[in-house]
Amino acid sequence: MNDDPPSSSLQTRYSDKADKTDRSDKTERADRSWLHKLMQAFNGEPQSREELLEIIKEAANNKLLDQEALSIIEGALDVSLLQARELMIPRSQIVAIRIDETPKEFLPKIIESGHSRFPVIGESFDDIKGILLAKDLLRMMLEENTDFSLESILRPANIIPESKRVNVLLREFREKRYHMALVIDEYGGIAGLLTIEDILEEIVGDIEDETDEEVSDEFIKRVSDTDFIVKALTPIDDFNDYFDAGLSEEDFDTIGGILMQEFGHLPKRNEVATIDNFQFRVLYADNRQIHLVRLTLIE
């Protein structure tokens, strides 16, 4: 029988195995720690929205979520705090059709706007007759009906108050299968318009389709006469050329750099900064930089 002590190589293997086991135990404990926090979230233990976000962000830091998923979760949480007045397209930017217009008069507006739904008004903007769907108009025109009646193909208009919660409205959009709501102010007048796409963009970011125009090397996209989607990487020189502005290029090369200086911290979604006659609202930012903003021209 050989009573010799174990060889040094055997001891080394045992030591390596012990180190690996120790590291594995630490990793497992860390995972259990994070999992425990996540379970607390689902058990209703977080006492605030901030605590819940902290847990979700820790999941992203542990590579259990990517930054895009984190942004979508943050967007969904943000939407629950918003009211219709904060997301609606203002009255001045609504493309509407008058009930007494002929196809020759309103078709150019439909084609130019690229929208699929249009409010139809009577004597004034506050006299809403219904909603026109472009597909209904096409069907009627294909039938070659000489007795054209715009009123006969209108859908009912969905009217909501400015104070309506956006997350409640999104649920109604899904349940009732409509895509547009007209927003009224406290006096009953039309204040704006809100679509399901506006809400979804607030959650997942800008949704582009084939009718969206890309300009200035895709850095700036025009939304309306006063609103634009601007990438934070837009060179200041390009921005100045596009808007005939005079933002300084001395300290920064991009719009994102100027905004970081203006905020004085890394902003979150929906934070607003005003520079000259430009109002910037953050649409998307991660834990390192700003990515996308909505710019509104201030008269």
SS (H, E, C) the chain: CCCCCCCHHHHHHHHHHHHHHHHHHHHHHHHHHHHHHHHHHHCCCCCCHHHHHHHHHHHHHCCCCCHHHHHHHHHHHHHCCCEHHHHCEEHHHCCCEECCCCHHHHHHHHHHHCCCEEEEECCCCCCEEEEEEHHHHHHHHHCCCCCCCHHHHCECCCEEECCCEHHHHHHHHHHHCCCEEEEECCCCCEEEEEEHHHHHHHHHCCCCCCCCCCEHHHCEEECCCCEEEEECCCEHHHHHHHHCCCCCCCCCCEHHHHHHHHHCCCCCCCCEEEECCEEEEEEEECCCCEEEEEEEECC
> 148 in a domain, yes or no?
yes
Asked whether residue 93 falls in the same domain as residue 118, the answer is yes
Length of the chain, in residues: 299
Predicted confidence at residue 34, as pLDDT, reads 55
Lowest mean pLDDT among 106-115, 156-165, 231-240, 265-274: 106-115
Asked whether residue 176 falls in the same domain as residue 161, the answer is yes
Predicted confidence at residue 248, as pLDDT, reads 87
> 209 in a domain, yes or no?
no
CA distance to 140, 206, 222, 268, 283, per residue, from 293 (Å): 41, 10, 12, 11, 5
d(C-alpha 151, C-alpha 147), whole Å? 12
Asked whether residue 223 falls in the same domain as residue 291, the answer is yes
User: Is the pLDDT reported for residue 2 higher than 80?
Assistant: no
The tens digit of pLDDT for each residue in 169-215 reads: 989 998 988 889 999 998 889 999 999 888 888 777 665 554 444 44
Predicted confidence at residue 213, as pLDDT, reads 46
> 52 in a domain, yes or no?
yes
Predicted confidence at residue 214, as pLDDT, reads 45
Phi, psi (5° rounding) for residue 278?
Answer: -115, 130
Asked whether residue 194 falls in the same domain as residue 104, the answer is yes
Q: Report residue 133 CA to chain centroid gap.
A: 24
> 10 in a domain, yes or no?
no
Predicted confidence at residue 206, as pLDDT, reads 61
The tens digit of pLDDT for each residue in 27-70 reads: 555 555 555 555 555 555 656 777 777 777 777 777 777 777 77
Other beta carbons within 10 angstroms of residue 115's beta carbon come to 15
> 14 in a domain, yes or no?
no
> 43 in a domain, yes or no?
yes
Q: How many domains does the chain have?
A: 3
User: Is the pLDDT reported for residue 279 higher than 60?
Assistant: yes
Asked whether residue 58 falls in the same domain as residue 107, the answer is no
User: Is the pLDDT reported for residue 260 higher than 80?
Assistant: yes
Show which of 150, 174, 204 is a domain's final residue. Answer: 204
Asked whether residue 275 falls in the same domain as residue 184, the answer is no
The tens digit of pLDDT for each residue in 99-157 reads: 988 888 888 888 777 788 999 999 898 999 999 998 888 777 666 655 778 888 899 99
Show which of 172, 204, 236 is a domain's final residue. Answer: 204
Asked whether residue 158 falls in the same domain as residue 117, the answer is yes
User: Is the pLDDT reported for residue 285 higher than 90?
Assistant: no
Asked whether residue 220 falls in the same domain as residue 164, the answer is no
Predicted confidence at residue 59, as pLDDT, reads 76
Asked whether residue 129 falls in the same domain as residue 198, the answer is yes
Asked whether residue 43 falls in the same domain as residue 100, the answer is no
Show which of 79, 94, 120 is a domain's final residue. Answer: 79
Predicted confidence at residue 42, as pLDDT, reads 54
CATH code of the domain in which 162 resides:
3.10.580.10
CATH code of the domain in which 240 resides:
3.30.465.10
User: Is the pLDDT reported for residue 259 higher than 90?
Assistant: yes
Whether the Cβ atoms of residue 41 and residue 52 lie closer than 8 Å to each other: yes
Nearest to 293 by CA among 262, 261, 265, 255: 255
Asked whether residue 120 falls in the same domain as residue 168, the answer is yes
Asked whether residue 197 falls in the same domain as residue 220, the answer is no
Nearest to 185 by CA among 79, 82, 85: 85
Highest mean pLDDT, choosing among 18-22, 23-27, 261-265: 261-265
Q: Which residue has the tokens 């300290």?
A: 251
> 210 in a domain, yes or no?
no
Of the pLDDT bands very low, low, confident and very high (cuts 50, 70, 90), residue 160 is very high
Predicted confidence at residue 28, as pLDDT, reads 53
Its domain, for residue 281, covers 216-297
User: Is the pLDDT reported for residue 89 higher than 60?
Assistant: yes
> 253 in a domain, yes or no?
yes
User: Is the pLDDT reported for residue 16 higher than 60?
Assistant: no
